[in-house]
């Protein structure tokens, strides 16, 4: 198998990265192209050694919160045609789950996460870099709803975390990383024209 096409999708928390990724994934799966999705969230560091109250104090919006060395070696393995043991993460307990999942290499790999374009050492591994450019107030609104419904948070804790780390780290690391992207996508995960343009680029590259 020739080297896979690696597409990195980044942007603020709540910008629509996951939705965009799923829409792109569906477009390729329909055509029978095996696509593998990797989420940077799964590479948050394990924190089993910390008490819950200490885990709650971690800055999850700093690049060092992720084990990017592991992500990098997984990308290299997939590129070399080798399978990986993909970690799983729990947002409620703030740590990795014990189980991993064996993932096989595929012709298209879609990666999504907040810090993917902020780590210079990862950039050469990507063939296409996309930034989902959504106004922060919209991201916050979506995050509030999602984190309360799906990640076991209270409204107060979402607001506190947003002020303390999410917003300042966005300005320090994520926002400047948009300039490394090949494509900046406005209007989030449902921007059909952006999806079509990217799909057509990928289809041509895979011919
Ligand atoms: N364009 C959109 N319009 C309406 N809701 C959206 C849109 N994009 C994303 N959402 C919703 O907002 C929430 C956060 O989006 P998600 O894709 O998970 O963001 P991210 O992965 O960037 O954190 C999800 O519930 C998602 O369904
Ligand atoms: N234990 C954790 C780990 C991460 N977060 C927040 O998740 C955000 C990134 O994930 P998205 O799916 O929203 O892109 C990031 O902004 C972290 O603050 C968390 O709250 N708890």
Q: Whose CA is nearest to atom 23 of ligand 1?
A: 14
The pTM for the full model equals 0.96
d(CA 13, ligand 2 centre) in Å: 7
d(CA 16, ligand 1 centre) in Å: 4
Judge whether residue 29 has pLDDT over 80: no
Residue whose C-alpha is closest to residue 9's, from 84, 142, 109:
109
Q: Supply the angle between the helices 17-30 and 192-206 in degrees, to the nearest 10.
A: 50
3-state secondary structure the chain: CCCCEEEEEEECCCCCHHHHHHHHHHHHHHCCCCEEEEEHHHHECCCCCCCHHHHCCCCCCCHHHECHHHHHHHHHHHHCCCCEEEEEEECCCCEEEEEEEEECCCCEEEEECCCCCCCCCCHHHCCEEEEEECCHHHHHHHHHHHHHHHCCCCHHHHHHHHHHHHHHHHHHHHHHHHHHCCEEEECHHHCHHHHHHHHHHHHHHHC
Q: What is the pLDDT of residue 176?
A: 97
Q: Which domains does the chain have, with CATH numbers?
A: 5-206 (3.40.50.300)
- 148-157 CB contacts, 8 Å cutoff, 24+ apart: 150/91, 151/91, 151/92, 152/91, 152/92
Mutate to test the pocket of ligand 2, among 10, 60, 167 (most ligand atoms within 8 A of CB): 60
pLDDT tens-place string over residues 130-155:
999 999 999 999 999 999 999 999 99
Sign of the Cα torsion 10, 12, 13, 15 reads: negative
Mean pLDDT, range 10-38, rounded to an integer: 89
Ligand 2 neighbour 94 (Cβ under 6 A) = yes
Judge whether residue 27 has pLDDT over 90: no
Residue whose C-alpha is closest to residue 25's, from 180, 146, 198:
198
Contacts of 34 (CB under 8 A, 6+ apart): 106, 107, 108
- Atom of ligand 2 lying closest to residue 94 CA: 1
d(CA 149, ligand 1 centre) in Å: 13
| Pocket-forming residues, ligand 1, beta carbon under 6 Å | 11, 13-19, 142, 146, 188-190
Mean pLDDT, range 61-90, rounded to an integer: 97
Judge whether residue 189 has pLDDT over 80: yes
- Atom of ligand 1 lying closest to residue 187 CA: 1
Mean pLDDT, range 9-23, rounded to an integer: 96
Burial status of residue 14 (CB atoms within 10 A of its CB: 0-12, 13-18, 19 or more): buried
pLDDT tens-place string over residues 191-201:
999 999 998 98
């Amino acid at each position: 198998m020739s080297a896979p096409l690696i597409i990195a999708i980044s942007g603020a928390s709540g910008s629509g990265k996951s939705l965009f990724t799923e829409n792109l994934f569906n477009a390729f799966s329909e055509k029978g192209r095996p696509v593998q999705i990797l989420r940077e969230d799964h590479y948050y560091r394990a924190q089993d050694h910390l008490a819950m109250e200490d885990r709650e104090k971690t800055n999850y919006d700093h690049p060092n919160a992720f084990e990017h060395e592991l992500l990098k070696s997984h990308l290299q393995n997939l590129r070399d045609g080798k399978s990986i043991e993909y970690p799983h993460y729990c947002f409620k307990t703030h740590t990795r789950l014990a189980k991993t999942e064996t993932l096989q290499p595929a012709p298209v790999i879609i990666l999504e996460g907040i810090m993917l374009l902020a780590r210079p050492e990862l950039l050469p591994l990507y063939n296409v870099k996309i930034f989902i450019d959504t106004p922060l107030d919209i991201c916050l609104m979506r995050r509030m709803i999602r984190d309360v419904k799906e990640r076991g948070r209270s409204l107060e804790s979402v607001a506190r975390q947003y002020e303390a780390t999410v917003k300042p780290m966005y300005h320090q690391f994520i926002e400047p990383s948009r300039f490394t992207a090949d494509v900046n996508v406005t209007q989030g995960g449902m921007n059909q024209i952006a999806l079509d343009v990217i799909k057509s680029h990928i289809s041509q590259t895979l011919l």
